Each structure stands twice: as structure tokens, then as C-alpha cells.
Amino acid sequence: MPLFMTIAPEVTAWKITKVGDLKPEGLDLFCEDGQNRIATPRMLARALVPRAGDYFVVQDPKYSYIATADQWMHTHTPQGAGHAPIPPQTHGAGGGANAA
């Protein structure tokens, strides 16, 4: 079985340091860079309630989202930090229909 890797888009993310008030335009989020950002109602529609330690992520100017701290740390690496190699995987003896 072939091993597939995806190339994730480059994103910019800020760690949320404090969750503020809920307003009609969205939820106030204070980030580690000292800036206040707004989690819009659409961003909150996934039933995710952001908390300190989560990340405010901008993928492109029209798409932002909230990532939980656990989700973020397991799926992203800071730019310049490199990536751990993906080890080869075996799927049991016999190899199934695509065995060589």
C-alpha cells in the first residue's frame, strides 16, 4: 500500500492568551502578539469554544479558523523547525491485492 503525504498550506497563527466578551460581531480573543482578534459567529459554528492556549489561524485573507492547542501541536511545525521523517509502514504479511 502506498504511503501518502499531504502538503498543508502555509498559515499564520497566534496563540490565544485570553478569551474576552461575546459581542454581536463575535468573540473577542487576545493573542500572544498583543493584538485583539474576533472569532466570528461562523468560526464558532463548529461548537468549538476557544480558550487560552488555542490558536487563531489565518490560512488566507478570506479564511480564518480556531484550532485547539492539541490539534495544532499535532499537525503543525513552526517555520524553519523542519519536519520529522515519516517512518515506512507495513500492513501485515501478505500485502493484500497490491502486494509486489
CB 89 within 8 A of CB 54: no
**Confidence category of residue 99, pLDDT binned at 50, 70, 90:** very low
Q: Give the residue ranges of DSSP H helices in 1-100.
A: 41-44, 69-75
Label residue 78 by pLDDT band (50, 70, 90).
low
Distance (Å, whole) CA 25 – CA 44: 11
Backbone angles phi, psi at 86, to 5 degrees: -90, 120
Supply angle C-alpha 32, 64, 28, rounded to 5: 50
Q: Which residues contact 85 (CB under 8 A, 6 or more apart)?
A: none
pLDDT at 50 (0 to 100):
92
On whether the 7-75 domain is CATH 2.40.50, my answer is yes
Number of other CB atoms surrounding residue 90 within 10 Å: 7
Q: Model confidence over 50-63: pLDDT tens digits?
A: 999 999 989 888 88
Domain boundaries, the chain: 7-75
